[in-house]
Amino acid sequence: MAPAPSKPKVLVAMSGGVDSSVAAALLQQQGYDVTAVTLKLWGGESDTGCCSVSDVDDARRVADHLGVEHHVFNFGDEFQDKVVNPYVEEHQAGRTPNPCVECNRHIKFDKLLRRAEALNFDLVATGHHARLARTVSGELRLKRGVDRDKDQSYVLWMLGQEQLDRLIFPVGNLTKAQVRELARQLGIRTADKPDSQDVCFITKAQGRERFLTPRMPFTAGKVVSVDDQELGQVEAVELVTIGQRKNLGLSGQPEALYAVDVDAGRAVVTVGAKDELLCATQPIAQVDWIAGPVAERLRVQFRAHGKSALGWVRQNDLGLNADGAALDACHSDEDAAQQTSLGWQICWETPQPRIAPGQSVVFYDKSDEIVLGGTIALRNPVVSSSVSPA
Amino acid sequence: MTQNPDCAYLDHAATTPLCPEALEAMQPFFDERFANPSGAHWMARDAMRAVNDARDKIAELFWAEPGEVVFCSGATEADNLAVFGIAGAGQAGGVAKAGQADRLVSTGRAGDADRVGMAASVGGAEIVCSAIEHPGVLAPVERLGGTTVGVDSKGIINLEELSQVIGKKTKLVSVMLVNNETGVIQPLAEIAELLAERAPQAVFHTDAVQAVSWLDVAEHAKSAHMISLTAHKFRGPKGAGALIARRGVDFRPLIFGGGQERERRAGTHNVAAIVGLAAAAEIAVSHRVVNAQRVSLLRDQLSDHLKAVVPNVVETGVVETAAGTDRSHKIAGSCHLCFAGVESEALLFLLEREGVYASAASSCASGAFEPSHVLAAMGISRELAKGSLRLSLGTCTTQAEIDLACRAIPPAVGQLRKAAA
């Protein structure tokens, strides 16, 4: 009898939470040769996330329960270099970074993937709520997880074919409730463990400001209105985020004012009324279309949790107006590359809040597939013409 | 010991298997001789006799008086007892004085240079240790705001720097006899001379846990006032250790309660483990010379082979000469190498698959490997230190294990270097 083909070897990244625990269990049921690893990324204070000793213990005990070999990889240096330091630098530049995106880009889906490959694993799995779909031409697309409330495809937008090809997201087809139910059925101890929230290296008690204080200088700045009237002062322009309403040193204003622009270089925060926070178009400098430009209306998500909005992606500086002349069709890859270099913008169906530079923006088509992702690179200062008349 | 022929356990610096003599000696104390030695009846007295026989044995083996042996849970406790005990000496009732308590919580890792400068101006730093100590010493010293003294590129303490740091106010100097990562032996006699000259009032403590199987600890540490030992590093059980504290050395206990160990360490004696400690120590000391000779040959074979077959390897703690590698500053069981361009975590993963169990730097509570403070102190770059591999041989290590390691390590390093290229 010919020997049975060996099972695919998969390295599952276990954070100690319920999703990755169930991911490991599912892969095992599906006949993979499963090995678990927990990444140690952050040695400082943490509420939860993926690095505390208790989370490693949870992951290890779940692996023990499943009969899966468990290891710990310390990627602390890489995490500091690629996630924590840039997080500080981005704030210094007056942007609002998304460290989870950078962690996925550089740690989980680069460093870990390369480590897995060096150790002869065929695949890497995580407990992210996201799905993979294959197109007729055989390419992989990233889709939202079945559970819309828990979908994490937003923080995975940067994954390319080469990475997607070696990834599995076993819980993407399940709702969170199903994941927890499965965990209970399998006797997994993390079945009722609360979801992790927010940035793993920022504690709720300490907050972002206390984290950044010893790591960077803050610049005091003035707060001005859209027509450049000085209204107040802030101690740290670097801590102001677009859309922020509180802690702007404003009092006695007749209406609520929001940060609509942060110019860290000049140390100026511009505030405006709600309708000045809104804009009809949002520039997005560099874009990476997954499979060429898409002219149809897309669902645009610009924060990890919370609402998304509808809009079109159009090239700017080509005389296309916000009311929506059709996007020039791309006839070849060369055309697409050419267009990519010209800069793009989102044309909102209804005006949306300005998006802070540094934030990721992810575009979904009607089938919930990601067709485009990018990072807001530029400020979007208020010019009267960009505000839609009410 | 039964040895699985398919694997090579080369992590004896982490812990060693229990020797049969210790197991046999311990057995009755899990069974018919189970009594609490602190009681008054015959069964209690029987158990106390076993504890005191063990105490006599340890005293004899390490040139101490029985009353100088304080049994405790292991080396971390012994180290803490020495450091905190000396720092808090003379404080009645065991309650830290005002100011002392503040210092305990508020001191962090200040700049060494500042502290050295400050220390010198006021008659020497109070609490001093080498920069390569085990965390059992290093963490208490850091909590007390103590001063660390650097090492040279071979991993040997810088005596010049030590002499600048110590002075009339120095209370404690703690330097390990053998480093747990590199296996490098520290010059305790020279340190003692320096102390006698510049800080005669200071207490000299040494953590000797890595030395017992390989060196004459009694001779090396004869001028130390306090010596930490733990059984499981020399084929005794986990959970038993001792602090030898010379008569007249006043130190404050860490644990208060029933007055055991002459009120220096409260808590019911771990009788079986204490008996195992003494039995294992006796075997380790009496077989030491033969074991060290045999194992050093295996170690040389392992190190020489790996360096010959694998390019870009640095062996730490040695002197390379035209005549060969001088490993005279290292204990027989230690082979410590740094593979350029390799990450030890990945290397250990592959070696485990081949049945080779080893270590890199020291592992933290989570099971992750932390960057080595020892290699950093030796001036080894963080990049090279990331490729460190600690192969620690024990007295029961076999030729077959060394052969397996020699076969497994070169292809594993090759695979990782290829993947990184």
Are both A113 and A241 inside the same structural domain?
Answer: no
How confident is the model over A147-172, as a mean pLDDT? 95
Chain A residues in contact with B343 (beta carbon < 8 A): 115
Confidence of residue A320 (pLDDT cuts 50, 70, 90): very low
Are both A44 and A101 inside the same structural domain?
Answer: yes
Q: Give the tens place of pLDDT for each residue, B219-229.
A: 999 999 999 99
Give the model's pLDDT for residue A252. Answer: 76
Chain A residues in contact with B371 (beta carbon < 8 A): 76-77
Q: Give the tens place of pLDDT for each residue, A185-222.
A: 999 999 998 887 678 888 887 789 999 999 999 999 99
Does residue A204 sit within a domain? no
- From A11's Cα to the closest Cα of chain B, the distance in A is 12
Residues contacting residue B107 through CB under 8 Å, at least 6 positions apart = B142, B143, B144, B145
Does residue A281 sit within a domain? yes
Alpha carbon distances (Å) from A164 to A130, A140, A141, A143: 11, 7, 8, 11
What CATH number has the domain bearing residue A30?
Answer: 3.40.50.620
**Which domain range does residue A257 map to?**
217-272
Does residue A361 sit within a domain? yes
How confident is the model over B38-57, as a mean pLDDT? 97
Alpha carbon distances (Å) from B17 to A210, A239, B13, B404: 48, 56, 11, 19
Alpha carbon distances (Å) from A292 to A336, B32, B88: 6, 81, 72
CA separation for the pair B150, B375 (Å, rounded): 11
Q: Residue B403 pLDDT more than 90?
A: yes
Give the model's pLDDT for residue B107. Answer: 31
A119, A120, A166: which to substitute to probe chain B, counting the most B Cβ within 10 Å? Answer: A119
Give the model's pLDDT for residue B58. Answer: 98
CA separation for the pair B349, A279 (Å, rounded): 53
Q: Are B369 and A74 in contact (CB under 8 A)?
A: yes
Does residue A117 sit within a domain? yes
A71 touches chain B (CB under 8 A): yes
Q: Which residue has the higher pLDDT, A47 or A23?
A: A23
Confidence of residue B98 (pLDDT cuts 50, 70, 90): very low
Residues contacting residue A338 through CB under 8 Å, at least 6 positions apart = none
Are both A92 and A111 inside the same structural domain?
Answer: yes
Q: Do B368 and A53 touch (CB under 8 A)?
A: no
B357-391 per-residue burial string, b: 16 or more CB within 10 A, e: under 16: bbbbbbebebbbbbbbbbbebbebeeebbbbbbbb
CA separation for the pair A84, B336 (Å, rounded): 32
Q: Do B369 and A74 touch (CB under 8 A)?
A: yes
- From A120's Cα to the closest Cα of chain B, the distance in A is 9
Are both A263 and A281 inside the same structural domain?
Answer: no
Q: Do B367 and A56 touch (CB under 8 A)?
A: yes
Q: Do B343 and A40 touch (CB under 8 A)?
A: no
**Pairing of β A33-40 and β A69-74:** parallel
Does residue A191 sit within a domain? no
B343 touches chain A (CB under 8 A): yes
Hey, which bits of chain A come out as E strands? 9-13, 33-40, 69-74, 123-125, 130-134, 140-144, 167-168, 221-225, 230-234, 258-263, 268-272, 278-284, 288-289, 298-301, 308-315, 344-353, 360-364, 370-375
What does the mean pLDDT of chain B come to?
91
Q: Do B366 and A40 touch (CB under 8 A)?
A: yes
Cα-based torsion angle of the residue sequence A319, A324, A325, A328 in order, rounded to the nearest 10 degrees: 90
Are both A264 and A299 inside the same structural domain?
Answer: no
Chain B residues in contact with A57 (beta carbon < 8 A): 366
A14, A69, A74, A166: which to substitute to probe chain B, counting the most B Cβ within 10 Å? Answer: A74
Query: Which residue of chain A comes nearest to B351, CA vs CA?
Result: A119
A74 touches chain B (CB under 8 A): yes
**Pairing of β B388-392 and β B369-370:** unpaired
Q: Residue B411 pLDDT more than 60?
A: yes
Q: Give the tens place of pLDDT for each residue, B148-198.
A: 999 999 999 999 999 999 999 999 999 999 999 999 999 999 999 999 999
Domain end among A208, A240, A272: A272
Are both A236 and A340 inside the same structural domain?
Answer: no
Distance of CA A61 to the CA centre of its chain: 29
What CATH number has the domain bearing residue A332?
Answer: 2.40.30.10
Does residue A192 sit within a domain? no
A166 touches chain B (CB under 8 A): no
Confidence of residue A286 (pLDDT cuts 50, 70, 90): low
CA separation for the pair B247, A355 (Å, rounded): 72
Set out the domains of chain B in order of their start, with CATH numbers.
8-17+288-420 (3.90.1150.10), 20-286 (3.40.640.10)
Which residues of B are known to be catalytic? 364
Q: DSSP string covering A269-297, please?
A: EEEE-HHHHEEEEEEE---EESSS---S-
Q: Residue A20 pLDDT more than 50?
A: yes
Does residue A207 sit within a domain? no
Are both A357 and A255 inside the same structural domain?
Answer: no
CA separation for the pair B415, B410 (Å, rounded): 9
Q: Which of A40, A114, A120 sits opposite B368 (nearest CB)?
A: A40
B108 touches chain A (CB under 8 A): no
Q: Which residue has the higher pLDDT, A386 or B37?
A: B37
Residue with tokens 């040389």: B300
Give the model's pLDDT for residue B96. Answer: 32
CA separation for the pair B364, A361 (Å, rounded): 38
The phi, psi pair for B356, rounded to 5°, reads -105, 120
Q: Which of A307-316, A371-380, B237-246 is predicted most confidently?
A: B237-246
Which residues of A are known to be catalytic? 103, 200
Give the model's pLDDT for residue A382. Answer: 77
Domain end among A140, A169, A185: A185
Residue B154 exposed, middle or buried by CB count within 10 Å (0-12, 13-18, 19+): middle
The phi, psi pair for A283, rounded to 5°, reads -70, 140
CB atoms within 10 A of CB A246: 8
Give the model's pLDDT for residue B402. Answer: 98
Q: What is the pTM of this model?
A: 0.87
Residues contacting residue B232 through CB under 8 Å, at least 6 positions apart = B15, B16, B74, B238, B239, B240
Are both A221 and A301 inside the same structural domain?
Answer: no
Nearest to B281 by CA among B395, B389, B189, B191: B395
Q: Do B368 and A72 touch (CB under 8 A)?
A: yes
Instruction: Give me the number of domains chain A comprises.
Output: 3
Does residue A195 sit within a domain? no
Residue B23 exposed, middle or buried by CB count within 10 Å (0-12, 13-18, 19+): middle
Confidence of residue A387 (pLDDT cuts 50, 70, 90): very low
Are both A181 and A325 inside the same structural domain?
Answer: no
Chain B residues in contact with A77 (beta carbon < 8 A): 371, 382, 386
How confident is the model over B265-275, as a mean pLDDT? 98
Q: Do A73 and B365 touch (CB under 8 A)?
A: no
Q: Residue A332 pLDDT more than 60?
A: no
Give the model's pLDDT for residue A289. Answer: 83
- From B233's Cα to the closest Cα of chain A, the distance in A is 25
What CATH number has the domain bearing residue A261?
Answer: 2.30.30.280
Q: How many CB pairs under 8 A join A and B?
A: 42
Q: Are A125 and A11 in contact (CB under 8 A)?
A: yes
Are both A258 and A285 inside the same structural domain?
Answer: no
Interface of B with A in 347-386 (CB under 8 A): 349-350, 365-371, 382, 386
Are both A248 and A334 inside the same structural domain?
Answer: no
Looking at residue B39, the DSSP 8-state letter turns out to be: S
Are both A264 and A281 inside the same structural domain?
Answer: no
Q: Do A119 and B346 touch (CB under 8 A)?
A: yes
Confidence of residue B99 (pLDDT cuts 50, 70, 90): very low
Domain end among A272, A294, A310: A272
